[in-house]
Structure 1
Amino acid sequence: MSLAVLRSRALAGMEAPAVNVEVHLANGLPSFTIVGLPDAEVREAKDRVRAALQNVGFEIPSWRITINLAPADLPKESGRFDLPIALGILAASGQIPSSELDRYEFAGELSLSGQLRPVRGALAMTFAIGRSGAQTNEPRRAFILPKSNADEAALVADASIYPADTLLEVCAHFAALNDGTRLPRYRNELPLLPPRYPDFSDVKGQRHTKRALEIAAAGNHSILLVGPPGAGKSMLASRFPGLLPPMTDEEALEAAAVQSLTGSFSPERWRSRPFRSPHHTSSGVALVGGGSVPRPGEVSLAHCGVLFMDELPEFDRKVLEVLRQPLESGVVTISRAAHQADFPARFQLIAAMNPCPCGWQGHPSGKCRCTNESAQRYRDRISGPLLDRIDMQVEVSAMSPAAMGAQADGESSDSIARRVVVAHAVQLARQGKPNGRLNTHEIDRLCVPDAAADKILRSAMTMMNWSARAYHRVLKVARTIADLAGAPTIDAAHMAEAIAYRRALQER
């Protein structure tokens, strides 16, 4: 036959729309044309495919070869179409049987020697194959892809994964010369080890900050740590993921799918909370994602985990402002002229900063020589609207010489995490989500303080000129403190503690 049609997948944000790879051989001068809105990587496939077919011993038909990637209005990028293009040429020229091709989908980049190289988005493509079968009530197609992508693709339950190392192995699978040439269905037998994080017991002192981080973990609250250099802000932040509740199956798959889009997924990090720490020279596109073909940024790579932004005022102000929308919605939408892509961005923000340009304001050493005006200008690099969206603002005090010389004997992460898990379970049973994600209507219904607590909150709001957003965020933190204490209502002690966690910058 002179026509072969194979199935593959493109990537559009978190989606993997179906692509038909149509290969047609016709009389005429020998040529090799790829149409269907391919980008440079896809157009270069003709050279990779030609060399790979020749080097594994197949013939390149001396005909006019036309490859159509349908639908034509969907942008196609990366080398994942190399494998289906090569198989289509072989099927259309009669060098391999084509009877079983429709039962499979294909993705894989070819080396010039015919080896299969890994591709991005294997997990998203496997998800899409499963959804497509469920929507059409047809048998789910199996997926042939490079062996390097097998572990992540096999995370999708009931997926039929057939990994291969070379183009020849795939061709032998369809030639079926004997049973030994068929590709075996992949079974993920990797041991599921529990995630490992740095332990809080390594941190000396800082009981006040540890308590604040426990509350932030229990209620999914964002937090800003303010203190001099060496006080332990970065050390505390790096240990924060160990306090968070274990990831659910849905969270683990969502986080792995986002990482798969950038090729950064590793099976060894399965069920480990992501911890992203972008440098302060990062651009807005690096932070929220973008590009001509949209890709996820740091806020999406931190999905279901932690985004740690050290030296917060050193980030460009325009870069910081892009955080405002994902902090509220948990989603990033990248819009381009031809299409748009949505990426999840439900992360927990941990930020850290010095109190002044030199960093030593308020330190017992008295080394700070910054004026009040210069210190205020430094803090003003963070806009009021962004600060308003950070639930907790906590001062991290400098360590005394006696504390630095003492042995680290603080409470372990496991001990703190057990309390966090109990409080988190209370929130899920009551409202189905953490306190940090409550909307205004839910706050009014679920975060009702008693008379004494309400009086304290209103007094603090008047004294510190808080906005309505700040008012609601203090209520959410107070609700989390009450949950940790096992209290059904928010009392004066819970409210006073919540207010104390929002005064680090206002008291300077």
Structure 2
Amino acid sequence: MGFARACSVALVGVEGVVVEVQADLEAGVAAFTLVGLPDKSLVESRDRVRAAVVNSGAQWPQKKLTVGLSPASVPKGGSGFDLAVACAVLGAAERIDPASIADVVMIGELGLDGRVRPVRGVLPAVLAAAEAGYRQVVVPEQTAGEAALVPGVSVLGVRSLRQLIAVLCDEPVPEEQEPHDQGRPDTMLAGLMVPGAGMGTGIARGSAQGGGHRPDLADVAGQARPRKALEVAAAGGHHLLLSGPPGAGKTMLAERLPAILPPLTRQESLEVTAVHSVAGILPPGEPLVSRAPYCAPHHSATMQSLVGGGNGLPRPGAVSLAHRGILFLDEAPEFSVRALDALRQPLESGHVVVARSAGVVRLPARFLMVLAANPCPCGR
């Protein structure tokens, strides 16, 4: 019989709650019970964790096993609890020292072969852990750079459960093949602890900010009046309407507006990066968004895709992905009236509150809106 605990983080929107993962072993028929308000994907972690532990060379305890997620009142979902569950079970089975994991926050999904895979929302999760007083975090190697953006936190990036067990037991760290899926070149070597610090720069999702050359207002020839309008809008934070026939350059000008916006401050960068991390759209190798994001949804977008929604707890919509940047609505009159009306509240308050049966989520949504429209439906 044994007991051990580790910590992980449950995300509610872009805010995190530290969750204590407790594992208890008792004599009895071998069984694995998971309690604490888990969703379907988290319940499935029982099979993932068991296979990962066995394939990592550790023995699975043949006893009655109960894993509790506390506080039980907070909804928990996703596969990011796998690593904490596995370590809590190994601690209860005395395969690793329970004291070595009691105050460590662990975030990551386990593959059946024991590999640690990246998950969404690492930055807001580590921010929540730091605010709660935790100073050691274990994350997948691919997201270690993202976690290291939080000051005052030591981050350990691992490729597999086998490596983590070796680090915790002070044993030689085995070599693991470098992951090819969703790999990030700025990650740390397994077993290396570094203090959190600012790392690199990044750009956000949007056709105007892909890799290579970024569209700039210097590319535009002529267009003196529209250029002046863009400069005034950028300087004063004014929303903008571009009206003209097809081919007049409305989209071209809107795509170049982020280039004349000032760089994001450190706090703004963390806000934007947290939203993009939860949405799973951070570019590989660029853990920090330092330029104003640009989001241009299609005119067939629904209200939920604009303001946020989805099954269970709502996910960020276009207004949140454009936080501290540009929301461009091309062919604005073609958007549904319901979708356009839903933009009023975030435009006024700078945030959006989405209520669903699974809970209420408050998401940041302070953006500069640019509309483009033809003079009439025929485009002429």
**Normalised TM-score (structure 2):** 0.89
The answer to whether 1:276 aligns with 2:284 is no
1:337: Cα distance to partner?
3.8
Matches within 5 A, 1:85-234: 85-133=85-133, 140-177=134-171, 183-186=191-194, 191-192=200-201, 197-234=214-251
Q: C-alpha separation between the residues in 2 aligned to 1:347 and 1:193? A: 18
- Aligned equivalent of 2:376: 356
2:329 to 294, 297, 309: 309
1:189: Cα distance to partner?
8.7
Larger displacement relative to structure 2 (332-341 or 143-152): 332-341
Q: C-alpha separation between the residues in 2 aligned to 1:193 and 1:177? A: 36
Q: C-alpha separation between the residues in 2 aligned to 1:180 and 1:294? A: 40
1:323: Cα distance to partner?
0.5
Contact (CA 8 Å) 1:326, 1:345: kept in 2 or not? yes
1:178: Cα distance to partner?
5.7
Q: CA RMSD in A?
A: 2.0
Q: C-alpha separation between the residues in 1 aligned to 2:63 and 2:104? A: 27
Flag the 1:294–1:179 CA change in 2: closer, same or farther, 3 A. closer
1:177: Cα distance to partner?
2.8
Q: C-alpha separation between the residues in 2 aligned to 1:290 and 1:193? A: 26
The answer to whether 1:255 aligns with 2:236 is no
Q: C-alpha separation between the residues in 1 aligned to 2:2 and 2:40? A: 26
Other structure's SS at 1:304 match: coil
- Aligned equivalent of 2:338: 318
1:208: Cα distance to partner?
0.6
Contact (CA 8 Å) 1:163, 1:186: kept in 2 or not? no
Contact (CA 8 Å) 2:173, 2:191: kept in 1 or not? no
Q: C-alpha separation between the residues in 2 aligned to 1:218 and 1:247? A: 14
The answer to whether 1:345 aligns with 2:365 is yes
1:158: Cα distance to partner?
2.3
Deviations 1:242-299 (A, max 9, x none): 1111211111111001101112123536302111010111111110102221211110
- Aligned equivalent of 1:22: 22
Report the structure number with the largest CA radius of gyration: 1
Deviations 1:10-46 (A, max 9, x none): 0012211010111111222211111111111100001
Q: C-alpha separation between the residues in 2 aligned to 1:86 and 1:178? A: 20
Larger displacement relative to structure 2 (182-191 or 327-336): 182-191
Gaps of 5+ in 2: 176-189, 204-208
Count residues in correspondence: 354
Deviations 1:79-107 (A, max 9, x none): 01100111111111111111221231111
Deviations 1:449-496 (A, max 9, x none): xxxxxxxxxxxxxxxxxxxxxxxxxxxxxxxxxxxxxxxxxxxxxxxx
Contact (CA 8 Å) 2:148, 2:198: kept in 1 or not? no
Other structure's SS at 1:73 match: coil
1:344: Cα distance to partner?
0.4
1:191: Cα distance to partner?
4.8
- Aligned equivalent of 2:184: none
Contact (CA 8 Å) 1:110, 1:117: kept in 2 or not? yes
Contact (CA 8 Å) 2:313, 2:360: kept in 1 or not? no
Q: C-alpha separation between the residues in 1 aligned to 2:219 and 2:171? A: 61
2:304 to 272, 285, 294: 285
Flag the 1:179–1:171 CA change in 2: closer, same or farther, 3 A. closer
Flag the 1:178–1:341 CA change in 2: closer, same or farther, 3 A. same
Flag the 1:346–1:317 CA change in 2: closer, same or farther, 3 A. same
Letter in 2 for 1:23: A
Letter in 1 for 2:272: A
Deviations 1:414-442 (A, max 9, x none): xxxxxxxxxxxxxxxxxxxxxxxxxxxxx
Larger displacement relative to structure 2 (94-103 or 280-289): 94-103
Contact (CA 8 Å) 1:197, 1:241: kept in 2 or not? no
Q: C-alpha separation between the residues in 2 aligned to 1:71 and 1:103? A: 16
Contact (CA 8 Å) 1:13, 1:294: kept in 2 or not? yes
Deviations 1:309-356 (A, max 9, x none): 100011111111110111111100011345311110001101101110
Divergent runs of 4+, >6 A = 179-182, 193-196
Flag the 1:12–1:284 CA change in 2: closer, same or farther, 3 A. same
- Aligned equivalent of 1:33: 33
Contact (CA 8 Å) 2:30, 2:64: kept in 1 or not? yes
1:51: Cα distance to partner?
1.0
Other structure's SS at 2:267 match: helix
Letter in 2 for 1:184: L
Gaps of 5+ in 1: 134-139, 361-508
- Aligned equivalent of 1:59: 59
Flag the 1:113–1:178 CA change in 2: closer, same or farther, 3 A. closer
Flag the 1:87–1:249 CA change in 2: closer, same or farther, 3 A. same
Contact (CA 8 Å) 1:150, 1:186: kept in 2 or not? no
Identity between Structure 1 and Structure 2 (%): 44
1:335 to 351, 355, 360: 355
Other structure's SS at 1:127 match: helix
Flag the 1:98–1:159 CA change in 2: closer, same or farther, 3 A. same
Letter in 2 for 1:255: V
Other structure's SS at 1:326 match: helix
Q: C-alpha separation between the residues in 2 aligned to 1:281 and 1:189? A: 38
Deviations 1:122-149 (A, max 9, x none): 100111122112xxxxxx3300010111
Deviations 1:167-211 (A, max 9, x none): 011111111136999821146795548996312122232111110
